[in-house]
Amino acid sequence: MDISTADNIELDRFVEQVDLGQGERVLREIYEFIGRYVRYPSDHAQVAHALWIVHSHCMQHFHTSPRLAFMSEEKESGKTRGLEVTEPLTPGALLSFNLSPAALVRKVAEGGHTILFDEIDALFGNSKREEGNLDVRSILNSGYKRGAKAYRCVTVGKRIEVEELDSFAPVALAGLKDLPDTLASRAIIIRMRRRAPDEQVEQFRTRMIQPIATGIYDKTANWAASLPDLSGATPEMPAGVTDRAAECWEPLLLVAEVAGGKWPQLARKAAVHFTQGGKSETMSHGVELLDHVRDAFGTDAKLWTDSLLQRLHDRPESPWKNIGGRPLDDRGLAKRLKGYGIKSCDVKISGTNKKGYQAESFADAWKRYLPIMSATSATSATELNSQNNPVAEVAQVAHKCALCGVGGQLVEVLRGDVGVHLHRPCIDDWSARECA
């Protein structure tokens, strides 16, 4: 049943079948329980974690299951604790540091298990590691969608037959640094940080928390078992949450809608936060280059290659200043853009012809891969084009951030036909407020 379009008779029948207040209470208990032992980087992260835990009890209703990833730059940042508090609250939880491909496939195929994979960074990081763990990676990638299969050769007597095994299961991960791009795009990534001295959490001891966790688990399982068939339900997605991100968030938003209360609003704010504000987590190096090139062009219609490279190098904290010990050069730029159908050409500026790029050559790629930022950075136009566009500096001074009211380095974002100027760090909160 599609809750958003159901008529009164259908809704009355639904209410008779399910105590909506029970779902709200279950989510609140989970939210409060995990918050006692984990210091989250934001309330959105705690909301996402609570919704993910409930979704693991309702897998029969969903077509996708997002990977929940606790990642951090440094050790002792609460990643493993995130998995430890998840373990007693999820069905058939398997918390492991070293699941082999064979063990992972067999356990997932059994059904009813929640895979909690710690130290996932040990599987990736260099080509040798990745080559040796291709099977695990393929299962983690494909198993987020219902119907995904893993295939194994088995010996039956003297014959070798292909065995087909289900690989759809809820999976939570923890590790250092970053996930591979293909896995990151299927994940809700919570960037954990080491607790500051004034940030306190309760001590976590399995024997002490087990009675409380068991009670919460039973309530969650009972509520999930009472739900009617939701496989045909389609929750309303907030603006900007589309494609793969919509697939990932659909089960969590559906859980929130069925639970009711404040949870639909909290879930949508979290979805916007992770999809738009956390977009850099799943941004490939190629898309990151397109984003930075768009900033570098500013209001220019064409640039010489050396000018474009200089602007890329001059970005604050530029990733293009040092690639393998050398800055990005013209050949490296051309190679990275080739896959997007973008090539250099002869560019004439002020009567001088040199190799360069036309902004219109990037238009299609920008439209396809950068849907959120629909206008270029006013900062880039000011800092990089001051000689050719002296008016940009004056315009920059006149604008103030639509969220905090302070001027400075702003980005223009289009909402409909209206341009809104924001600081980059303010974009997340502004988007969440607008979608509320």
Residue ranges in 92-149 assigned as alpha helix (H): 101-110, 127-132, 134-142
- Return the minimum-mean-pLDDT range out of 281-290, 306-315, 394-403: 394-403
pLDDT of residue 50: 98
% the chain with pLDDT above 70: 81
What pLDDT, on the 0 to 100 scale, is given for residue 125? Answer: 63
Q: Which of 54, 60, 85, 57 is nearest to 70 (CA)?
A: 85
pLDDT digits (tens, 9 = 90+) for 162-220: 888 888 999 999 999 888 888 888 999 999 999 988 899 999 999 999 999 999 999 99
pLDDT of residue 311: 94
Nearest alpha carbon to residue 385 among 325, 305, 302, 319? 302
The reported pLDDT for the residue numbered 240 is 83
Rounded-to-10 torsion of CA 426, 193, 125, 180 = -40
Which pLDDT score, from 0 to 100, does residue 152 have? 77
Could you tell me how many residues make up the chain?
A: 436
CA distances to 27, 57, 281 from 62, rounded to whole Å, are: 18, 11, 25
Q: Which burial class, exposed, middle or buried, applies to 145 when counting CB atoms under 10 A from its CB (0-12, 13-18, 19+)?
A: middle
Phi, psi of 177 (to 5 degrees): 65, -120
Q: Is the separation of the CB atoms in 230 and 256 below 8 Å?
A: no
**More confidently predicted of 300 and 384:** 300
Query: What is the DSSP secondary structure assignment for residue 315, as one 8-state letter?
Result: S
In degrees rounded to 5, what are phi and psi of residue 374? -100, 10
Q: For 198-212, b where at least 16 C-beta lie within 10 A, e where not — what string?
A: eeeeeeeeeeebeee
d(CA 101, CA 420) in angstroms, rounded, equals 49
Q: What's the rounded Cα separation, in Å, for the pair 268 and 257?
A: 10
Q: Is residue 55 predicted with pLDDT exceeding 60?
A: yes
pLDDT digits (tens, 9 = 90+) for 222-263: 999 999 899 999 999 998 898 889 999 999 999 999 999 999
Tell me the HSE value of 325 on the side-chain side, using a 13 A CA sphere: 0
Q: How confident is the model at residue 277 (pLDDT cuts 50, 70, 90)?
A: low
Segment 359-407, tens digit of pLDDT: 999 988 888 887 544 333 334 334 444 433 333 333 333 466 777 666 6
Q: What is the DSSP letter of 89?
A: G
Q: Is the pLDDT of residue 17 over 80?
A: no
Query: Minimal CA–CA distance to 174: which of 96, 134, 117?
Result: 117
Of 24, 195, 172, 202, the C-alpha closest to 89 is 172
> What is the C-alpha R_g of the chain?
25
Q: State yes or no: pLDDT of 314 exceeds 70.
A: yes
Cα 364 from Cα 342, distance rounded (Å): 10
Note the pLDDT of residue 345: 95
Q: Residue 181 belongs to what H/E stretch?
A: helix 181-184
CA-to-CA distance for 353 and 209, rounded, in angstroms?
A: 71
The tens digit of pLDDT for each residue in 319-337 reads 999 988 899 999 999 999 9
Residue 141's pLDDT is 86
Please report, for residues 40, 56, 80, 138, 320, the alpha-carbon distance to residue 149 in angstroms, rounded to integers and kept in the order given. Answer: 34, 19, 28, 10, 39
- Report pLDDT for 413: 74
Half-sphere exposure of 252 (CA within 13 A, CB side): 34
pLDDT of residue 399: 62
Q: Are strands 114-117 and 171-176 parallel, antiparallel or unpaired?
A: parallel
pLDDT digits (tens, 9 = 90+) for 57-78: 999 999 999 999 999 989 999 9
85: which 2 tokens? Answer: 């508090």
Cα(245)–Cα(241) distance, rounded to whole angstroms? 6
The gap from C-alpha 116 to its chain's centroid, in whole angstroms, comes to 18
Mean pLDDT, range 7-32, rounded to an integer? 77
CB atoms within 10 A of CB 282: 23
Quick: pLDDT tens for 92-145: 999 987 777 778 888 888 889 999 999 888 887 666 666 667 778 888 888 899
* β pairing state of 149-156 and 159-166: antiparallel
